[in-house]
Amino acid sequence: MGRVDGTPERERLLGLVVDLVLREGVIDMSLSSVARSIGSNNRMLLYYFGSKEALLDEAGLRAFDQFPKLREVFSRLGSTGHLEGRLLDAWADLSAPENLPYLRLYFQRFGIAMRDTEQWLTFIERAGQQWLGWTREVFRSHGYSEADSLVGATQILALWRGLQFLLLTGAESEQLNAAYATGVRGLLAQLTPADPAVGAVRSASER
């Protein structure tokens, strides 16, 4: 079944689902339970969204928009200044306490996607490539080669995801901040910009 976009009723239903998944998560959530919780029915949700997976994926994207420090992290990360400082600031944004409801939702969705990869292929591809691509562009803009930019982006993304997971388990923020700072400094010490002048110009422009 297809989907209907852009109607007020669709937006109303989507908003209710966003509130629902942020409040209750998505573990073992069926289309019927979603419909029941928001006062709708299966037929209506399928009409507007096409499938449960499409509905929950869109709700996850819309939920992301409710967390400014997450939504705007790459606009700040991509601005001028020393790369180390930008990366440290990015973790402060990503680990902010107000982001915890979304982080819980994200990791729940990831776990479900790993159980049913075909149904959640769009989410899996986005989770694996989108942030990696954006982070790689940050390294490239600071003068690093394609190869080093990919290595740097991969390690930074691994740090973010791993430390966010620990954050959800209740690990102390100071411990995670120290581990991240050590990881960033160690990574940057191993990589040399292919064009150091690019990074120097970006840093100098902020002084």
pLDDT tens, residue by residue, 151-174: 999 999 999 999 999 999 999 999
- Long-range CB pairs of 100-105 (<8 Å, 24+ gap) are 100/167, 100/168, 101/22, 102/22, 102/63, 102/64, 102/66, 102/67, 102/70, 103/164, 103/167, 103/168, 104/25, 104/168, 105/21, 105/22, 105/25, 105/26, 105/60, 105/63
Q: What does pTM read for this prediction? A: 0.86
Under DSSP, is residue 188 helix (H, G, I), strand (E, B) or coil? helix
Burial class of residue 95 in the structure, from the number of CB atoms within 10 Å of its CB (0-12 exposed, 13-18 middle, 19+ buried) = buried
What pLDDT was estimated at residue 196? Answer: 65
> With contact defined as beta carbons under 8 Å apart, do 170 and 98 qualify?
no
Q: In this structure, how many other beta carbons lie within 10 angstroms of the beta carbon of residue 9?
A: 12
29-40 mean pLDDT: 96
179-190 mean pLDDT: 98
Four-residue CA torsion sign, 141, 128, 106, 33: positive
In the predicted structure, residue 201 carries a pLDDT above the cut 80 = no
Q: Which helix (H) or strand (E) holds 170?
A: none
> Of the CATH numbers 1.10.287, 1.10.357, 1.10.10, 1.10.3470, which one belongs to the domain with range 68-204?
1.10.357
Mean residue pLDDT of the chain comes to: 91
- CATH fold group of domain 8-64: Arc Repressor Mutant, subunit A (1.10.10)
Q: Where are the domains of the chain?
A: 8-64, 68-204
Q: Report the first-to-last Cα separation within the chain, whole angstroms.
A: 56
What pLDDT was estimated at residue 194? Answer: 83
Q: In this structure, how many other beta carbons lie within 10 angstroms of the beta carbon of residue 190?
A: 11
